[in-house]
Amino acid sequence: MATVPIWNPVKPNPSGWFLTGLSENMVRMEERHPGWLADVRSGTELVIASDYAGDKQAYQSLSFLLLSLPGNEKWDSARADFRSKWLTDGRGIAYKGLDPNSFELDALPAFLNAADSIDGISITFLLNKNIRSVIANDERTYLKNCLQENCLQDFTGWKDKPFEKLFRVAQFVGFLVAGLSRVGQNIWWLTDEDEIVANEQRLQAAMKFLAGASTRFVTHCLGSLRCMTDACDGGTGFAKDLTSIPDLVAGALAEAWNKSAHDGTLPKSGQSSMLSPNVAPKALRILSWLSQKDTSLKKLVCVVKPS
């Protein structure tokens, strides 16, 4: 019996950067490796948590976690149990807080073990700095003007770097929504309190930006679209725990790739090599977890470099 594909081929888009080609690769990978992706279409809500690292380094890391609700009660139970044992004060785990001999570092294995119970997908994009911009200068001005007219948001005060970052993140989220959602599914984008959502005005602008980016790729009708930061947690720790996962992954991959790029140990075409010996032990712990297969949480990494 033929397996029903999970990935939806996205709408061809000449201005969609490299993502149309990546969609074709996703289709081919799924054909070769059934079970490579988790199905996040079962719940009425598709949640996408995101975090970012390495903005000023050789590789920028954009990490996303996708899961559907309801349907992840096992994860909710596992994280509540983790919190009752390790984080009774309501705080979260962040990559920057994993100092040697810290309480957070001791708690890391238990948190990652709980994260493996998520029926979902962790996918991270490492973007080489030589991809200086995904928007041409004339297109940036045009896009700002269109968004200002259509979204009733003022983007004129945005500097180029945060606008570029918002464009990149929105493109990837829209791409993932197009490829992994189903008709009528409601979309929740949960992001770290970053410069692209530094205040309520920017949060609303980011949501409308995402809506516009999604239409570039989606071939089916979606439900509602909402955007929030992990500050809107309600005291349960649910949002913090979700964003902690892309925070840890983005931080570890950014450190590993940037240290290795600096030390000249990144693999080149047709070669294999080890990561730099200077990569921090906390990053290696997370990379070891990322390499584990046969878990409910599928873990993918995509390195993007100029051709």
CA 11 – CA 5 distance, rounded (Å): 16
Q: Which residues pair with 96 in a beta bridge?
A: none
At 148 the pLDDT is: 59
- DSSP category for residue 2: P
- DSSP category for residue 95: G
At 143 the pLDDT is: 57
At 1 the pLDDT is: 45
| Coil/strand/helix, residue 302 | strand
Domain residue extents for the chain: 19-265+273-304
- Cβ-Cβ contacts under 8 Å for 300 (sequence gap 6 or more): 121, 122, 123, 124
CA 213 – CA 172 distance, rounded (Å): 9
CA 271 vs. chain centroid, Å, equals: 28
Give me the tens of pLDDT residue by residue for the chain, a chain 307 residues long: 457 899 999 988 765 567 888 899 999 999 999 889 999 999 999 999 999 999 999 999 999 999 999 999 999 999 999 999 999 888 889 999 999 999 999 999 999 999 999 999 999 999 998 876 655 555 555 555 655 555 545 666 677 788 778 888 988 999 999 999 999 999 999 987 777 777 777 787 788 778 877 888 899 999 999 988 877 776 788 999 999 999 999 999 999 999 999 999 987 765 656 789 999 999 999 999 999 988 999 999 999 887 6
Q: Which helix (H) or strand (E) holds 111?
A: helix 103-115
Take residue 106 and report the two structure tokens written for it: 């001791």
Q: Which residues pair with 150 in a beta bridge?
A: none
